[in-house]
């Protein structure tokens, strides 16, 4: 069985963000051009280009390879939400069978 759950608005207070080269946090959305203007965040899709032909998805995969390092304080999607139900569900079904949209 595979379980797909919708993301929740309330995330952990200690959760970080991927960042642009100048340190601006990135929020991933379906349509960045429809997002409201912001001086605090950059809106992007995971497969938009980060730099030098590298996508944000590539950037995250590269970041995750650094064993033991996590300066941006990123969390697995299932650990990102403050509601413990997400993690309990994933532990019951299996982390690799649980997807968060």
- How many independent structural domains does the chain possess? 2
**Does residue 50 share a domain with residue 2?**
no
pLDDT greater than 90 at residue 80 = no
**Does residue 38 share a domain with residue 70?**
yes
pTM of structure: 0.76
**Does residue 22 share a domain with residue 4?**
no
Query: Domain residues for 91?
Result: 1-12+75-101
Average pLDDT score over the chain: 90
Helix (H, G, I), strand (E, B) or coil at 55: strand
**Does residue 23 share a domain with residue 4?**
no
Higher-confidence position of 93 and 12:
93
**Does residue 91 share a domain with residue 66?**
no
**Spatial CB neighbours of 85, under 8 Å, sequence gap ≥ 6:** none
Instruction: For residue 10, give the nearest of 91, 84, 98, 88 by alpha carbon.
Output: 84
């Amino acid at each position: 069985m595979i379980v797909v759950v919708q993301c929740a608005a309330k995330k952990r207070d200690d959760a970080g963000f991927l960042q642009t080269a100048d340190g601006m946090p990135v929020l991933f959305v379906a349509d960045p051009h429809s997002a409201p203007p912001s001086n605090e965040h950059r809106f992007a899709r995971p497969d938009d280009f980060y730099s030098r032909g590298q996508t944000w998805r590539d950037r995250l995969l590269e970041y995750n390879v650094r064993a033991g390092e996590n300066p941006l304080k990123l969390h697995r999607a299932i650990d990102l939400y403050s509601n413990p139900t997400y993690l309990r569900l994933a532990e019951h079904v299996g982390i690799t069978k649980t997807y968060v949209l």
